[in-house]
Amino acid sequence: MSVPGDEGRPIRMTRTFGICMVLWAAACQAPGPSTEVHELVDGWEFRRTDATAGTGLPTELAETLSGWIPATVPGTVHTDLLGAELIPDPFWRDNEMVLQWIGEEDWTYRTTFQTPTGLLENEVVELVFHGLDTFAEVRLNDRLILQADNMFRIWAVDVKDALRPGENTLEVHLASPLPPALEAREALPYELPAGNDRGDPPSRVFVRKAAYHYGWDWGPRFVTSGIWRSVELVGWRGGRISDLHFTTDSVSGETAFLTGRVEVLVSRDEADRRSAGGTMPLTVTLSSPTGAFGSLSQEILVEEGINQLTFDLRIQDPRLWWTNGLGEPHLYTALASMKAGRNVDTLTTRFGIRTVELVTEPDSIGETFFFRVNGTPVFMKGANVIPLDHFSPRVTEDDYRSLFQDVAEASMNMLRVWGGGIYEEDVFYDMADEHGILIWQDFMFANGMYPGDSSFLANVEAEAIDQVRRLRGHASLALWCGNNEMDEGWKNWGWGRNYDTPSDSAAVRDAYESIFHQILPGVVRAEDPGRRYWPSSPSLGWGDPKSLNRGDSHYWGVWHGQEPFQVFAEKLPRFSSEFGFQAFPSMETVAAFTYPEDRSLFDPTILAHQKHPIGNELIIDYMGREYPVPEGLDDFVYVSQLLQAKGMLTAFEAHRRAMPRTMGTLYWQLNDTWPVVSWSGRDYFGRWKALHYAAKKAFATTLVSSVLKEGSMEIWGVREAQDPAEGMLDLRLLDFSGSVLWEDSVQVNLDKRESKVLWTGPRPLTEELDTRRVVLATDLRLDSRDGDVPSSLLYFHPPKELNLEVPTIRFDLEEGEESLRITLETDVLAKGVFLMLKDGRFSENFFDLLPGRPRTTSIWTDKPLEQVRAELQVRTLADVPKEGFEVDDSGTPAPAR
């Protein structure tokens, strides 16, 4: 993976070939740095470990795999096979099915490297694997130095005695993760449930490996192996600074009180020298390059291993770190330096001054669930994020940058890193810090019960320590969560009732208690004190009425329960951490995995990229309630996105209107791991579905939300800014030709962090109207710096019942400073305006355009204006055939006759 350099996480200033790169002259007075780091990236190759194993592979392929093939590290065996052109694209058509053999094989990786000059003069030389997937034996110069069994751990081993001057050979033998899991499963006298496991039989819970590798209802099954994160040789002498991070204790008036924590790792030789006497003091200094705080130093008596130091800091007139939309996410830089005799070591990091609290207190409803940032209650807007690629090492820095730009542009302020994926790359959290996006961090446990033997529990504890220590310094980190949907599965999905004996049931539950109520919270308390731990998300299942009164909620009555969208406005949780609805990705994305002849709704290739067993049927069912159901895939893809956006917008607005009862809306899911029909708002290639545009509108600082009730209408205003605002609310009842049938303007005000009704009136305002041809348009003009507040349009019937005419849309293009700008006009209502341009993105899309109200949007593309003018296409709902699929009483779709 292309991981960016060293801007955000702790940075070792002596990194790479022992060059002294420090920011303070005092830190460079010693002649030699104590730490040097060399990344092993070159010369890797791989092959099948057992060239004689009979797997039914074609003879030519089997012979090729018996020889050494160039490899990329970090990487995976699947991507290395693809890079060598030995397998077809795993994402193309239904290739998933024919590539399952890869996960059943054992693989060996190796490289030959020269020992860097002077490295062996260090007292300690470690080989560090930041990620091995998953069962690995590591040999250096034919000596076994490491056995690994956890994808999520950082594996470090002292190799000074095994390392030779000159040439060295490093081999990593990666065993298939399937047999060890089956052996562990067979050793238990009872089954462990594992929802969404597409293995046969379920086995992923026995392996500390990304659960989504085994398949999910939005992802393929590719059980891969590989050296998935960087490999480094780290040499050091005397001591080194192994960690630097800060916590904000409090902010009082114009002063912030912080604790800086420095960890110094001391070698055995250095500890022995100091115990013998006659050595200079070991001095640690904490400084700020911008003068945010003065230089502080401590002389310490050291012991072998980790030595912990704390520095009490007081910063005057602090610039606070704020979430996106509430202020600047300001980051400070700090340097820790250590001098031990003639050795020096330095480490820099960035930190934010902020307090983040999860507030769960009894109230008149049940119990609150909200986040308080710098003393301010903040409504959380965002999504659940899964890995950006099934083969995560090929995600680049640019991919992460694009993701966070899209997140910030949609006014999101929180992402939940879901427990069936990976602890994300350092750059992910760096960019969250920079954009003011809080991170709800799951530990990597999802949808299954796990074993409780001592070796497994010890492995889990080591994993948690590694990851908590790695991530705890990020300003964006808000919460540690134990698992995804496991407590719900046990209590509500029947897992706890599937055992013949109480002792078996108790053993499974005891393992759960050990991991999620003892080990993980214990690690958080020890390694990241002050950060909140939440055992399981959701805290109660969506079938339990109490789930709406306390805790966080995964509400799946819509979609899985086939309830109507309106339920989102009726069943309001305290914090919605999962809910969603599927849609197809764009036709450009569909074209990336199909031939033209594949492109029909129930073609086997399309179904290979629809992992929910009745996903297409559910989309058709819901679509038939709201929209025409076209049979052609091109039209169906377009309408599915309108449908998804409409349903999710219903939820977003309902959740925001319910503030402060409801204080968070995190939808499932932000992104995809491959091109697929899914719940995402942003597809595998980063293309925005209509859902992401809807989220951008719904998550704006100030929201106008129109509600149609049985005999009345309400216009709500929701404001999340730090200051109040006043303005005018303009209401116009229009027919689809643009004629004003009724209008009114009222003066309104909104306090900071307020949700309230701004206007109410009877339905439908005037008599003898054809309500299938009218819309209530509402605009809010505020005397604030929020910018334009998105308009609200209220229709009196579902889209399929509206009397739409095919509009004539005119547009003008002009050059802007950083983008092209397009202004559109129409003669009649144009519903669901979809602007299409290959390799282009729009600031707004999938919107309704009213006659007499031109609309301007930006286009980001590398194409010149005249090419855009020639290629741009516009589609509206009126262009979709009204006849297509019909759904019978059993829910079975069929072409309309």
Confidence of residue 682 (pLDDT cuts 50, 70, 90): very high
| Six-digit token string for 536 | 């399981």
Q: In terms of Cα–Cα distance, which of 429, 432, 350, 293 is closest to 10?
A: 350
Per-residue pLDDT at 30 exceeds 50: no
Q: What is the pLDDT of residue 23?
A: 26
Q: What is the pLDDT of residue 13?
A: 33
Q: What is the pLDDT of residue 275?
A: 66
Q: What is the pLDDT of residue 542?
A: 81
pTM over 0.85: yes
Per-residue pLDDT at 69 exceeds 70: yes
Tell which wins on pLDDT, 787 or 207. 207
pLDDT in tens, 315-335: 999 999 999 999 999 999 999
What would the mean pLDDT of 208-233 be, rounded to a whole number? Answer: 97
Least confident of 194-198, 457-461, 527-531, 668-672: 194-198
Q: What is the pLDDT of residue 26?
A: 29
Helix axes 615-626, 633-657, angle to 10 degrees: 70
Confidence of residue 239 (pLDDT cuts 50, 70, 90): confident
pLDDT in tens, 757-786: 999 998 777 667 899 999 999 999 998 777
Distance CA 225, CA 77 (A): 6
Q: What is the pLDDT of residue 209?
A: 97
- DSSP lists the bridge partners of residue 795 as 775
Q: What is the pLDDT of residue 710?
A: 86
| Six-digit token string for 614 | 């009745």
Q: What is the pLDDT of residue 238?
A: 82
Q: What is the pLDDT of residue 131?
A: 98
Q: What is the pLDDT of residue 28?
A: 32
pLDDT in tens, 520-541: 999 999 999 999 999 999 988 8
Confidence of residue 16 (pLDDT cuts 50, 70, 90): very low
Q: What is the pLDDT of residue 268?
A: 80
Per-residue pLDDT at 306 exceeds 90: no
What would the mean pLDDT of 197-215 be, rounded to a whole number? Answer: 84
Q: What is the largest CA-CA distance in the chain?
A: 100
pLDDT in tens, 788-799: 889 999 999 999
What would the mean pLDDT of 510-518 be, rounded to a whole number? Answer: 97
Q: In one letter, which amino acid is 391?
A: F
Sequence-distant (6+) residues with CB within 8 A of 667 are: 382, 383, 384, 576, 578, 579, 580, 648, 651, 652, 679, 681, 691, 695
Per-residue pLDDT at 81 exceeds 80: yes
Q: What is the pLDDT of residue 198?
A: 61
Give 208's DSSP letter: B
Per-residue pLDDT at 21 exceeds 60: no
Give 896's DSSP letter: -
- Percentage of the chain modeled with pLDDT above 90: 80
Answer for the pair 239, 270: CB distance below 8 angstroms, yes or no. Answer: yes
Per-residue pLDDT at 500 exceeds 70: yes
Return mean pLDDT, the chain: 91
> For residue 613, which phi and psi values (nearest 5 degrees)?
-60, -30
Q: What is the pLDDT of residue 57?
A: 87
Q: What is the pLDDT of residue 785?
A: 74
Distance CA 701, CA 682 (A): 21
Q: For 365, how many CA atoms within 13 A lie in the half-sphere containing its CB?
A: 19
Q: What is the pLDDT of residue 20?
A: 26
380-385 and 664-667 strand pairing? parallel
Cβ burial of 210 (10 Å; 0-12, 13-18, 19+) is buried
Answer for the pair 313, 258: CB distance below 8 angstroms, yes or no. Answer: yes
What would the mean pLDDT of 679-689 be, rounded to a whole number? Answer: 98
What would the mean pLDDT of 244-271 be, rounded to a whole number? Answer: 90
Distance CA 718, CA 660 (A): 11
Q: What is the pLDDT of residue 1?
A: 35
Confidence of residue 278 (pLDDT cuts 50, 70, 90): low
- Rounded to whole angstroms, what are the CA distances from 325 to 373, 437, 474, 699, 702? 12, 10, 19, 10, 11
Q: For 652, how many CA atoms within 13 A lie in the half-sphere containing its CB?
A: 30
- DSSP lists the bridge partners of residue 715 as 706, 759
Distance CA 714, CA 144 (A): 71
What would the mean pLDDT of 387-404 be, rounded to a whole number? Answer: 98
